[in-house]
Chain A
Amino acid sequence: MMTLDPKIPPGPLETKWDRRRFSEKLVSPNNKRKITVIVVGTGLAGASAASTLGQLGYQVECFCFQDSPRRAHSIAAQGGINAAKNYQDDGDSVARLFYDTIKGGDFRSREANVYRLAQVSAQIIDQCVALGVPFAREYGGQLANRSFGGVQVSRTFYCRGQTGQQLLLGAYSALCWQVERGQVTMHPRTEMLDLVTVDGKARGIVARDLVTGRLSIHTAHAVVLATGGYSNVYYLSTNASGSNVTATYRVWKQGAAFANPCFTQIHPTAIPPGGAHQAKLTLMSESLRNDGRLWVPTMRADHRCPGDIPDGERDYFLERRYPRFGNLVPRDLASRAVKAVCDESRGVGPGGQGVYLDFSDVIAQQGSDVIRERYGNLFDMYQRITGEDAYHAPMRIYPAPHYAMGGLWVDYNLMSTIPGLFVIGEANFADHGANRLGASSLMQGLADGYFILPYTIGHYLATAKLTPVGEDHQESRSAFQRVTSRISRLLSVKGRRTAASFHREVGQLLWNHCGMSRNEEGLTSALTSIPALREEFWRDVMVPGSGAAFNQELEYAGRVADYLEFAELLCHDALHREESCGAHFREEYQTDDGEPQRDDSRFSHVAAWEYREDTSPVLHKEPLAFEFVQPTTRSYQ
């Protein structure tokens, strides 16, 4: 029987983390040398955790499927990283960052976790500066800040539009140092495919060397997953094409609870899909909404050029619906409003999937030079991808899956329901509730990796009784066997359809029924279509080549197979949550004017799902107690 004990220290919010750190047991330096920790994933969370554990003296085995740890998808984050430094003296504080994050998450996250995140945020900036991250500076030499994502204070630190890259390269350089010292062994181009558990504790992984195809068992005293989010289950997303759910999904099948999978963030301003060939959606910075106005034609299926549509026949739908915030409403509201007008057949561009983001007013007022200076690189990018000049015709944008707030359930110590299996970064569910604020994901990844996990894992390692486990252990062999049989099964189907075609189909299904807005009917129908599609996959997929060599199609097919199962879990969770909160919008639960209706009496909990082999997943609830803040209604009208 699965129990969810969040292990939150009692007492005042401000001192919870200090007291927890003091009460934790420590591992003596001599013993650390004899302890091996596996870290899977080398994004912000994984690289910072692996390097810090190495510094502490543990032997770290670090895995990534990319050819280099530096290519993890954290590299693509553009905007910045929040920290409660209050350098601008504009009223920011740990408490305010905490409150903004809790409220932004629509009161579906744990107070204690979020408060700790806000507390360590300031240290992250110092650590990154020490590592040589070239943050933007003022003329006087101090660190520069900007405001981001509609918050009222300037607390975002940035490196041009490449903040994620610079933070990751900082963590990567720390990792390089530990590799050089022999504390960390890197296994690039190696994909984790299963978990080894012994006596219910995580003791190792089975991984495939993607170059030779060789499968190997790696045992350790604890396993850390930092394998990112699952937005690619939608096929088209802003994630890198390699980002996948496989590691988190396969440990779910070994007994780790999966929490709030239906909380998926859809970013409003991506370049719309151009056709069936499309493999990825490109994000355009949210800042464009500061000056651009969103509109669609008032008439349905209006195929006139935007310039030929007079002002009276344009619907500036965000300004109409949200007169106070206009085009600057939060991501989830903007995305849903775009979807609503497209559903009314008023979308523009190929397939009616898009709305105009129009700069003509601001260009008329301030001149195109001002706009060029502000957004020149974004306009160039738009032109390169679409071939259209946004200085003369409005841009077209459409929402795209971007981030997964849901993830593996973890307690306050970042340990999953499998003892010894820790989950950090986007892969866990903890800190963002039902919706993530801009510039918070980088903060969370580095907080987990540099400052939280290294403490909490020590306590586990100091107190757990761990017998030696080798490759020959029965549990190791059985995990190995699971992976082997799965791979040979994939290769033996020899059907007619490519893995990509199944991926596209399941993605489309989810996008339609479990995307920006969901309803019972759609979710129920998805829950019958997905198993049928999965069955077809195992009957008709074509995976060429062999398992004993470099085979990108085999890697991909394995991930698609997991999406085809995970999609079902996503729909179960969305179906269960009969309320609208944050990124999760159930059409049945809205006010008369179309605003989401949260239901704190029934759904103020974390939904943690347990895997069952023969039946539907089983729901466990972790109640969310709000001792320090009072849940309120988000209103932007």
Chain B
Amino acid sequence: MKFTLNIWRQKGPDEHGRFVSYEARDVSSGTSFLEMLDSVNQGLIAKGEEPVAFEQDCREGICGSCSLVINGIPHGPDRGITTCQLYMRRFPDGAVITIEPWRARAFPIIKDLVVDRRALDRIMQAGGYISVHTGGAVDGNVLLISKDQAETAMDAASCIGCGACVAACKNASPALFVGAKVSHLELLPQGKPERTNRVKAMLEAVDREGFGSCGNQNECEAVCPKRISVRFIAILNREYLRAGVVESGLPAEPESPHAEST
């Protein structure tokens, strides 16, 4: 098979980018999309040219590294998979394929198709955790968690942090990413104690990073490689509203751990 690729090339974060056209020849239908790009790159390197930079690692759809917008759809035309799980038999012979990076202000381009997704880490650092010390945890069976509850939490927790939801969203909003984490932790009893601060802190981080706001268009759900449901965005919103109500009842300043009782 033979393909014409229109690939976004950009030397660095502050450079201007443009589309460059490449031919991929002698591609067998069992080649994965990334292997097809590998072979284009091998040709470029052999000529002493710089290969197209793109991200990948596990190549089995779980690490969340790969991040290509293929013909206008993050992770390409198939549902429920990442780019690395896409195979060339999915495209007609001779097809023209446009490949772009994730586009969002919060994901600045590093080079070509590689973007900086640390904003997602910073959102997690703001509150996407349960603060328990290592050691001294109670027996795992002390907390009884119903099967349904555990399964729903797992649905939310299966997010791979690839950022396709942001890439697909008209507004570049990470609501599905945040909603998945907030829901995962809120649905489990272990996560309840910190739920109020968690949702506020994570959404404040979203604002700081320059993402857009959720317009409930649900495009994120359609491109999510783990098919995470937008109902978790509703849970996120509910948690946020709840936090606003609860907050008024919380003490303004926590007592210092070193304060002596008088």
Which residue numbers of A lie inside 8 Å of B, CB to CB?
Answer: 48, 51-52, 55, 66-71, 73, 75-76, 85, 87, 123, 125-132, 134-143, 159-160, 162, 165-166, 169, 172-174, 176-177, 179-180, 186, 188, 211, 240-242, 274-275, 277-280, 282-283, 384-387, 450-451, 454, 494, 496-498, 500-501, 542, 544-545, 549-550, 552-553
Contact = CB atoms under 8 A, between A and B. Distances in A.
Contact of A241 (B57, B64, B87): B57
A127 B126 contact: no
B130 A544 contact: no
Given A169-B157, A278-B35, A134 B45 contact: no
Contacts of B48: 494, 542, 544
12 contacts: A67-B116, A71-B64, A71-B161, A76-B58, A76-B62, A123-B137, A174-B129, A174-B132, A277-B38, A542-B45, A544-B48, A553-B51
A494 B45 CA distance: 10
A131 B128 CA distance: 11
Contacts of B117: 67-68
A384 B50 CA distance: 31
Contacts of A48: 134
Contacts of B127: 180
Interface in B111-157: 111, 114, 116-118, 120-121, 124-135, 137-141, 143-147, 149-150, 153-154, 157
A542 B46 contact: yes
Nearest to B201: A180
Contact of A180 (B29, B126, B132, B146): B126
B234 interface: no
* Interface SS majority for chain B: loop
Interface stretch (B164-172, B185-193, B240-248): B185-193
B103 to A, nearest CB: 17
A544 B49 contact: yes
B50 A129 contact: no
Between A127, A137, A275, A282, the greatest number of chain B beta carbons within 10 A of the residue's beta carbon is seen for A137
A141 B134 contact: no
Contacts of B53: 550, 552
B59 A143 contact: no
B95 interface: no
Contacts of B130: 130-132, 173
A75 B226 CA distance: 14
Given A67-B55, A70-B121, A139-B146, 7 more contacts: A75-B58, A126-B140, A165-B62, A176-B128, A241-B59, A387-B29, A549-B12
A134 B188 contact: yes
Contact of A173 (B57, B63, B128, B150): B128
A141 B46 contact: no
Given A240-B59, A498-B45, A129 B125 contact: no
> Chain B interface: which size bin?
35 or more
Given A143-B140, A384-B85, A277 B134 contact: no
B52 to A, nearest CB: 10
A87 B154 CA distance: 22
Which of B60, B145, B191 gathers most chain A CB within 10 Å? B60
B63 A387 contact: no
B63 A73 contact: yes
Nearest to B27: A277
Given A385-B87, A544-B48, A279 B38 contact: yes
A68 B146 contact: no
A282 B134 contact: no
Contacts of A141: 144-147
Contacts of A139: 146-147
Given A279-B34, A544-B51, A550-B12, A68 B118 contact: yes
Given A71-B63, A76-B60, A143-B140, A132 B190 contact: yes
B57 A500 contact: no
Contact of B65 (A71, A85, A275): A71
B71 interface: no
Nearest to A501: B42
Interface string B18-50: 000000000111111011101100101110111
B134 A134 contact: no
A552 B51 contact: yes
Nearest to B53: A552
A32 to B, nearest CB: 14
A131 B181 CA distance: 13
Contact of A134 (B30, B55, B59, B153): B153
Contacts of A549: 12, 111
Contacts of B27: 277
Contacts of A85: 140
A179 B125 contact: yes
B73 interface: no
B140 A67 contact: no
A282 B60 contact: yes
Interface string B199-236: 00000000000000000000000000000000000000
A172 B51 CA distance: 32
Interface string B51-94: 10101111110111100000000000000010001010100000
B158 interface: yes
Given A66-B65, A132-B188, A134-B153, A176 B125 contact: yes
A52 B144 contact: no
Contact of B150 (A73, A135, A211, A550): A135
A550 B137 contact: no
B160 interface: yes
Contacts of A126: 137-140
A55 B141 contact: no
B184 interface: yes
A197 to B, nearest CB: 29
A236 to B, nearest CB: 11
Nearest to B55: A67
B110 interface: yes
A129 B130 CA distance: 10
B29 A160 contact: no
A70 to B, nearest CB: 6
A277 B184 contact: no
A73 B184 contact: no
A177 B188 CA distance: 18
Nearest to A169: B157
Contacts of A52: 134
Closest 10 CB pairs of A and B: A141-B144, A173-B129, A130-B137, A129-B140, A126-B137, A137-B150, A134-B153, A240-B58, A134-B154, A240-B57
